[in-house]
Chain A
Amino acid sequence: MSIEISNVSKRFGSFVALDDVSVSIPSGQLTALLGPSGGGKSTLLRIIAGLERADAGRVRIEGVDATGLPPQKRNVGFVFQHYAAFKHMSVRRNVAFGLEIRRRPKAEIRERVDELLRLVHLEQFGDRLPAQLSGGQRQRMALARALAVEPTVLLLDEPFGALDAKVRKELRDWLRRLHDEVHVTTVFVTHDQEEALEVADEIVVINDGRVEQIGTPDELYDAPANDFVMRFLGPVTQLGERLVRPHDLVIDTGEPGLDGVTGRVTRITRIGFEIRVEVTAGDQVVVVTLTRTRFRALDVQEGSTVNVRLAPEALAAALEA
């Protein structure tokens, strides 16, 4: 285990940011701390980095007790949401900063900086100032700067949060590929479940200062530990007493069965390749999402009476879990 967090608590005045949190983060993997804003995930990341001090509990990094260590002695790389670029230094000097502090020989620094600039595709931007780069380029520079000191762990605090949707998507794929190349233990904070599901090997869901669940993206999506995790990781709808995913439901127009509910179609929405059907049964509105092919085969309009039940595959998976 690379990062071992045991019983960490942190308060800001009367606000409890972290309440007795214990997490183990495995070596060499890409782990996401996922949760809503204000849930404590950034605080946890900053405590790992030493930028914030825990009120109670211990942090061990690669077997070393780091609880009392200042940030500069932890050998972690930290990437900020708003880049934290050194504005008065060129891209090269930014990347070289950690190595210059460590008084490495000039030739070695030059070589390492060249290598890193290639890795983040900024080789022709070395002499520019950060202000002359786009947001995505600045964040890649910040990543190179953090990687330069060969950190034991790389920590990223909402690294793509300040970027527009397209660049965000590109950088996300790029981070995944980079990690497959570099293999440094990486922890990133995000409130975007899609980002976490897509990029991470392992996800830690944090809410209200507590860990809700830890697992692989599949485990979390298919077997959420509670309603909060289920709601946070994807779309949900209520079917009778249970919380289910809208795409795990099927509609038919035959006789009402023993399971499921019967109601009237009150709204049909097309979202790209997907059809969203709202069925009102008593005082409950059930949302079902279907593919277009399936929807056409059904032949229902607003006002049709239909049965909604859990798809047989989903039922089997739920019984298994």
Chain B
Amino acid sequence: MVKRLIVIAYLFLLVAWPLFLVGQNTFEGGLDNLRGIVEDPDVVHALRLSLMVAVIAVVINTVFGVGVSLLLVRYEFPGKRLLSALLDVPLSVSPVVVGLSLVLVYGGRDGWFGPALEGAGFQVVFATPGIVMATAFVALPLVIREVVPVLEEVGDEQEQAARSLGANAAQTFWRITLPAIKWGVTYGVVLSLARSLGEFGAVKVVSGNVLGETRTATLVVEEKYLNFDKGGAYAAAFLLALVAVAAIVVVSVLRPRDQS
């Protein structure tokens, strides 16, 4: 009982109360703060950009993540443990470092790879592709870490049975493997989406933070906050948090209880 109280108090003080205050501050003057945000075309653009970037990054990470998970669980190859350890790097490295390293490689002026790409008419840094890359980088392990344990648990007997019944690799994946891991994938997607929407540090470095072009929603929050537009900052922050929390709540409600 005491232990439970401590845990609840800890979570309340660290997570629930601060988040609640963001919401409270957002609605302090009624709907004025929110109206101010959604009527500002630059902010709307930023929200759209954030959403688009998040969706693209999630699609990339889902396809890549499921592929890598299958590779890690179903196949034996030299360097497998090293690969598995490397996949956690994006979670442990600071997003600012991620941003800087991307600029070093893809920077348009003196990046390792950037000038060549830019010469071919493809700008990465200070443009949407860079933001997508930075976002995909930081959210990379989330799908994998959700899917790997599920794949290990279901085992490969169902897949072998499908093969012996005449299914080829693609049919086996779509009809047997994917339905078996769908909740792992869904949870990974939701976590990735929430993480991608909220990415700040890496995006700040690679985006260039150009108003109405490469400024994302998290950058708007910072900008508004620094410019003493606290109401606007809270409103934008509230919208970001709302999407992330809603996604997680929806999934935990939908998810069947026996497949924890």
Q: Identify the A interface with B (CB < 8 A).
A: 49-51, 70-72, 74-78, 80, 82, 84-88, 97-98, 101-102, 142, 145-146, 148-149
Q: Decide if B56 is an interface residue (CB 8 Å cutoff).
A: no
Q: Are B180 and A80 in contact (CB under 8 A)?
A: no
In the complex, per-residue mask of B154-190: 1 if CB is within 8 Å of any chain A CB, else 0: 1001101111111110010001100110000000000
Q: CA A107 – CA B154 in complex, angstroms?
A: 32
Cα distance A188–B154 in the bound complex, in angstroms: 25
Known: A86-B176, A88-B180. A72 touches B160 (CB 8 A): no
Rounded to whole Å, the gap between the CB of A92 and the closest CB of chain B is: 15
Chain B 134-159, CB within 8 Å of chain A: the 1/0 string?
A: 00000000000000000000100110
Q: Do A51 and B163 touch (CB < 8 A)?
A: yes
Taken together as a complex, chains A and B put the C-alpha atoms of A9 and B167 apart, in Å, by 27
**Between-chain CB contacts (< 8 Å), 23 pairs:** A50-B164, A51-B160, A51-B164, A71-B160, A71-B163, A71-B164, A74-B164, A75-B166, A76-B164, A78-B160, A80-B161, A84-B157, A86-B161, A86-B162, A86-B176, A87-B154, A87-B180, A88-B179, A97-B162, A97-B167, A98-B165, A101-B166, A148-B165
How far does the Cβ of A11 sit from chain B's closest Cβ, in whole Å?
A: 14
Contact, CB under 8 Å: B157 / A80: yes
Central interface residue in B160, B161, B164, by most chain A CB within 10 Å: B164
Q: How far is the CB of B211 from chain A (nearest CB, A)?
A: 49
Once the chains bind, are B176 and A72 in contact (CB under 8 Å)?
no
Distance A131 CA – B249 CA, assembled complex (angstroms): 28
CB distance from A307 to the nearest CB of B (A): 56
Contact A72 B161, beta carbon cutoff 8 Å: no
Beyond A80-B161, A84-B161, 19 additional contacts (C-beta under 8 Å) are: A50-B164, A71-B160, A71-B164, A72-B167, A76-B164, A77-B165, A78-B160, A84-B160, A85-B158, A86-B158, A86-B161, A86-B176, A97-B175, A101-B165, A101-B167, A101-B171, A102-B166, A146-B165, A149-B165
B residues less than 8 Å from A102 (CB atoms): 166
B171: A residues at CB distance < 8 A: 101
Closest to A88 in B: B179
CB distance from B155 to the nearest CB of A (A): 8
Closest A residue to B168 by beta carbon equals A72
Which residues of chain A come closer than 8 Å to B179, judged between CB atoms? 88
Task: Determine how close the nearest CB of chain B comes to the CB of A148; give it in whole angstroms.
Answer: 8
B160 touches A145 (CB 8 A): no
Q: Are the CB atoms of A72 and B158 closer together than 8 Å?
A: no
Residues of B within 8 Å of A74, CB to CB, are: 164
Chain A residue nearest to B178 in the complex (CB): A88
B103: min CB distance to chain A, Å = 45
Question: Are B157 and A82 closer than 8 Å at their CB atoms?
Answer: yes
A97 in contact with B157 given A87-B180, A88-B179, A88-B180 (CB within 8 Å): no
B160 surroundings in chain A (CB, below 8 A)? 51, 71, 78, 80, 84
Shortest distance between the CB of A258 and any CB in chain B (Å): 59
